[in-house]
Amino acid sequence: MSLFEQAFRPVGSTRRDPVLVALWISLIVVAVLWIMPFVFIVFTSLKTTSEVMRSSAFAAPTAPAWSNYAFAWQTGDFGTTAFNSALISIIKVPLGLFLSAMAAYALTRIEMPLRRALFVLVVFGTMIPFQVMLAPIFRQVNLFGLINTYPGIILPYLAFGVPYQVFILYGFFNAVPRELSEAARIDGAGHFTIFRRIFLPISLPVLSALLILDFVATWNEFAMALVILQDMDMWTLPLGMMGFSSQFSNDYGELNAAIVMTVLPAAIVYLMFQRYFIAGLTTGAVKE
């Protein structure tokens, strides 16, 4: 109630501001534009091909054709691709986070030679896009004989995920009061114990934010998987959807059902954990 009474009034003013009302209306218009593609995709995914051709693009489906989903799931082999995506994410995301956290601890809390240089090397890695050098990554993975294998995709994912996470955790660990770890050191605890008993528990909020961000990034990744996972049995969800869309580009309903199935898991994770997304993005990028 009181919130609504404050609406449309600028800070420190009690008058309703017409500029703010106009602003709000334009926001709603943009939001409608933004949400249209989703509505269109979901509508089409529930129409038969003949209904797509007959009805208006804006019309809701008359009798939802759920069979589109069943067809896409089976023909597109979504069982296999979803399994591959899930397996790769479940191994890569926690493992990468653990490695990054250990590295960030070592860089912030242990007096090591070259510490500064190593940190610069890591920050540099946060900005080098792997899309620029897909072929040499392919060659490196091939050298280890890991093309078309789970480790073959997980290792480069780790390599390109580690820098950003180390960078964020480095900032976070640096803000932890020195006294905390020094007291434990005096009590005789080793660095690894301090890391596990003190640093991991207190950084749970940051770790969960990074976990969710990284899960979505890994789940969505396409270019690297395209180069390394060439065998259809190893395809991840994005590759499977791309394959399906080039094969069934005229089966509009089924194609859109495939899109919905690919997009839905990430969308659900986002809607459930939105707060962590914002936190994960902004701790790293914008400092006070």
Within 183-222, the residues that bind another protein by CB under 8 A are 185-192, 195, 216, 219-222
Window contacting another protein (CB under 8 A); options: 60-68, 69-77, 163-171, 201-209: 163-171
Please check whether residue 215 is in contact with residue 93, taking contact to mean a CB–CB distance below 8 angstroms. Answer: yes
**From 20, 60, 183, 272, residue interacting with another protein (rule: CB under 8 A):** 20
- Min dist. Cβ of residue 79 to another protein (A): 18
**From 10, 29, 74, 79, residue interacting with another protein (rule: CB under 8 A):** 10
**77 Cβ contact partners less than 8 Å away, ≥ 6 residues apart:** 232, 235, 240
Window contacting another protein (CB under 8 A); options: 22-30, 63-71, 76-84, 201-209: 22-30
Give the DSSP H/E element, type plus range, for residue 267: helix 252-272
Query: Which region, left, alpha or beta, applies to residue 64 given φ > 0 means left and ψ of -120 to 50 means alpha?
Result: beta
**From 70, 90, 139, 272, residue interacting with another protein (rule: CB under 8 A):** 139
Number of CB atoms found within 10 A of residue 245's CB: 17
Window contacting another protein (CB under 8 A); options: 40-48, 65-73, 76-84, 201-209: 40-48
Q: How many residues bind another protein (CB under 8 A)?
A: 119
3-state secondary structure of 168: helix
**2 Cβ contact partners less than 8 Å away, ≥ 6 residues apart:** none
List, in sequence order, the alpha helices (H) in 144-236. Answer: 150-174, 178-186, 191-194, 200-202, 204-220, 223-228
With CA atoms as reference, report the closest residue to 216 among 168, 269, 275.
269
Window contacting another protein (CB under 8 A); options: 68-76, 86-94, 200-208, 250-258: 250-258
CA angle 77, 83, 89 (to 5 degrees): 135
**With respect to another protein, which residue has the nearer C-beta, 41 or 91?**
41
**From 86, 91, 123, 176, residue interacting with another protein (rule: CB under 8 A):** 123
What is the footprint of another protein within residues 47-106 (CB under 8 A)? 52-53, 56-58, 99-100, 102-103, 105-106
159 binds another protein (CB under 8 A): yes
With CA atoms as reference, report the closest residue to 168 among 96, 250, 272, 255.
96
List, in sequence order, the alpha helices (H) in 57-177. Answer: 67-75, 78-109, 115-125, 134-143, 150-174
- Min dist. Cβ of residue 113 to another protein (A): 8
- Min dist. Cβ of residue 233 to another protein (A): 19
Window contacting another protein (CB under 8 A); options: 60-68, 69-77, 138-146, 200-208: 138-146
**With respect to another protein, which residue has the nearer C-beta, 6 or 74?**
6
- Min dist. Cβ of residue 137 to another protein (A): 5
